[in-house]
Structure 1
Amino acid sequence: MVEVFKWIKWGRILVVIFVCITLNSCIDPFEIETENFENILVINATITNEVKNQEILLSRTFRFEDDGPLSEEGAIVKVIEDASVEYTFEESSPGIYRSVQEFAASSGKEYELSIQTSEGRSYVSDKVTLPQETSIERIYPQKITNNNGVEGLGIFVDTFDPTGNSQYYRYEFEETYRIITPLWYPFDLIVTSEGENSFEFGLVNRPENQKVCYASNVSNNIKIANTTIFEEDRITGLEVNFIPAEDIRVDNRYSILVRQYVQSREANGFYEILSSFSESESLFSQIQPGFITGNIISENNQDEKVLGYFDVSSVSEQRIFVNRDDFLIDLPRFALECDLIELVKDPFDELITFHQRIGAFIDSNEVRYFPDAPPEPGEPIEFPGILSYFVPRACGDCTALGVSTAPGFWVD
């Protein structure tokens, strides 16, 4: 939910900028300020049927002009099972609370969330139960053109509950992709010594782990679906993600883990309203969504607003891998701006001044050395005569865009 509110904030800012440009009426600077701000506790709490350290996120609403939400720190958080068993949570990092012991929600039992803030305010949720588990049938990729006419890769999900009891679904995903350094060169240029009148430069081996890297993202929107109007409790071809063909995520090899939550009708209603709010197209719409009421209240003040929902969901997940050439080989692909950068000595510069510029360029960590005519593979490498050629760091070192260690789940 924290990610959702960040998305809302930046979406609003972009809308304001767009309106100003379109109307050509923003002659004076326009400062966005929040009026009638309310400091409201925000709770993101989903307990699942997975045996793990469950996690609950607490934060505060933030003003339109602020950078983001503040974490709610120092709270006492508990999940109570059947009014008798308590699972306590500890704050693992600001605003993130993890259960001390691993546990899983079980069918036929009632669960209740209890929170006491560092200021002594108490909050409690309705009692909720675990819906039945329904497994994802399949996750699959397809080359598609989206509603904006952009070609790329769509990720789709099919699921089916023959009992007809699931009906309400929510989807999240984690995506990981491989990055190949486009202008790899096996040596880096360094300053080996510094004298009164000049620098001396040399080459050192560039780490091999800068050739191939991996980066990951998590979904930051709300994708829900329900089957209540269908004859069967079946979802077919629901798009959970779309990646344009020219996006770096599908430049080489891509993986996505899709998580399917079966949730209650009440939880579905909450997320449906939240989704509509976050996808509002106009800041100045005449229809305002108002406050989103969840199932958590303040025990100290019944009129206090609390934003969030305590949800108990059953989860199914599935991962797939996709090679770009299997689906998008005929489409334009991602390309970094990798123009060669040459530092040229000014005729009026002393040599030491020029060398200092090269040294500062190297120390900036924004570039990587790349001779204007690097040798072909297998060709002997000689120390270049011209030292001042570079490319942007990401073009010669993939750790500018990701990490060099492959995730444990990665399969080539």
Structure 2
Amino acid sequence: MRILVTILLCSTLNSCIDPFEIETENFENILVVNATITNEVKNQKILLSRTFRFEDNGPLSEEGAIVKVIEDASIEYLFTESAPGTYRSVQEFAASSGKEYELSVQTSDGKSYVSDNVTLPQETSIERVYAQRSTNDSGVEGLGIFVDTFDPTGNSQYYRYEFEETYRIVTPLWYPSDVIVTAEGEESFEFGLVNRSESQKVCYASNVSNNIKITNTTIFEEDRITGLEVNFIPAADIRIDNRYSILVRQYVQSREANGFYEILSNFSESESLFSQIQPGFITGNIISEDNTDEKVLGYFDVSSVSEQRIFANRSDFLIDLPRFALECELIELVRDPFEELITFHQRVSVFIDSNEVRYFSDTPTTPGEPLEQPISRIVFLPRACGDCTALGVSGAPDFWMD
């Protein structure tokens, strides 16, 4: 579970409307627990935070807690805080079939919380993850990512999906030179050219899923999922402008966990904070040991996990559709007729130092050689048009395949 509560506030202004500020009334400071233990041998992770007001910037991490997962009421796995509100198990471990697991949390103010005992569901592998051209509910064409899975035993039934996506970004107008200030005088600056790093030509960016995708097969004759769309990328999105990869993770979960995530999904996908139907508090499987009336938001889940990664090239699916395009209009600085040279050069220097633009020229130049001095005209591009590190990072990730 990557998000426990997603709050969307959309204001579309088609006419003049007096703005107003929203202030939370009757706010409750509630512990939020984000905990899924899996059958993977790894340092398991648990996230603790607090609910927050609409007017706040985001959740406050719950720091300094003592976190444990207890197996069969006898074996304890201790967690340490690796970052504010993020707790990782000291040792690697995996949830095992036939064993019961319980979460124990003691916050820094001495309050104790405990979960119900939960067990590992049926282990079922993803059959296939695949990409194909698709159209979303709004009529937009793009690339859909789909999943097939099957459990011949019929015991899995409840599934949840997450993904991590990575995409390649190619700089549209990469230029081999950057301009720098080489000397600063009382009446003018001198400018020169240096080599632009080739690492700014190709970059990579990644996202993780931020919605809740669940499904179940309880009404079907077979425990089979066919053609479930877990992600959609519009054709004009930068993510599918070149080459795209997605790692899909399938969680087999309990009926109780499925019910919790279903309610949470309905809440987070509400179209408006002011919709007529508002869900009440979402009850999970974690309670306060000190005060049974205290609310705790979250669910301690033990899930079996399967994952698959695929790659997709735009040219294989969407070559005939409109594609992503950066606004790469040239930014030309020209000295005004009555502008002092030093003033113009100061303007150029500010542009260079801003890191918001990159030098560009349609005339061949040699890095390391000075520009014709004094300059009275110079051309830039928005940074992303000449340097892909504005949108991603250089260097392909270890899993990347061309």
TM bin (shorter chain): over 0.9
1:288 matched to 2:299? The reply is no
Residue identity in the other structure for 2:174: W
135, 138, 141: which one pairs with 2:131?
141
Give SS of 2:334's match: coil
Question: What is the TM-score with the length of structure 2 in the denominator?
Answer: 0.96
Residue identity in the other structure for 1:226: N
Aligned sequence identity (%): 83
Structure 1 residue 283 displacement after superposition? 2.2
5 Å-filtered alignment, 1:79-158, equals 79-158=69-148
Query: In 2, distance between residues paired with 1:111 and 1:374?
Result: 68
1:222 matched to 2:181? The reply is no
Give SS of 2:128's match: strand
Give SS of 1:97's match: strand
CA contact (8 A) 1:47 1:312 kept: yes
CA contact (8 A) 1:261 1:315 kept: yes
- Sort the Cα spacing of 1:146 and 1:27 in 2 relative to 1 into closer, same or farther, 3 A: closer
Structure 1 residue 272 displacement after superposition? 0.3
1:76 matched to 2:66? The reply is yes
309, 323, 344: which one pairs with 1:333?
323
145, 163, 169: which one pairs with 1:173?
163
Structure 1 residue 295 displacement after superposition? 0.2
Instruction: State the aligned residue count.
Output: 398
Structure 1 residue 33 displacement after superposition? 1.2
Structure 1 residue 348 displacement after superposition? 1.8
Other-structure match for 1:163: 153
Mark the runs of 5 or more structure 2 residues left unpaired by the alignment. none
Question: What is the TM-score with the length of structure 1 in the denominator?
Answer: 0.94
Other-structure match for 1:213: 203
1:46 matched to 2:40? The reply is no
Q: Over aligned residues, Cα RMSD in angstroms? A: 1.5
5 Å-filtered alignment, 1:251-270, equals 251-270=241-260
Mark the runs of 5 or more structure 1 residues left unpaired by the alignment. none
Query: In 1, distance between residues paired with 2:110 and 2:267?
Result: 31
5 Å-filtered alignment, 1:327-406, equals 327-371=317-361, 373-375=362-364, 385=372, 388-406=378-396
Query: In 2, distance between residues paired with 1:4 and 1:252?
Result: 33
CA contact (8 A) 1:48 1:105 kept: yes
1:409 matched to 2:363? The reply is no
CA contact (8 A) 1:197 1:351 kept: yes
227, 243, 248: which one pairs with 1:237?
227
Query: Would you tell me which structure has more helix in proportion to its own residues?
Result: 1
Query: In 1, distance between residues paired with 2:168 and 2:157?
Result: 36
Q: Mean Cα displacement is larger for which, 114-123 or 283-292?
A: 283-292
CA contact (8 A) 2:201 2:387 kept: yes
CA contact (8 A) 1:134 1:160 kept: yes
Q: Mean Cα displacement is larger for which, 280-289 or 191-200?
A: 280-289
Q: Which runs of 4+ in 1 moved over 6 A?
A: 379-383
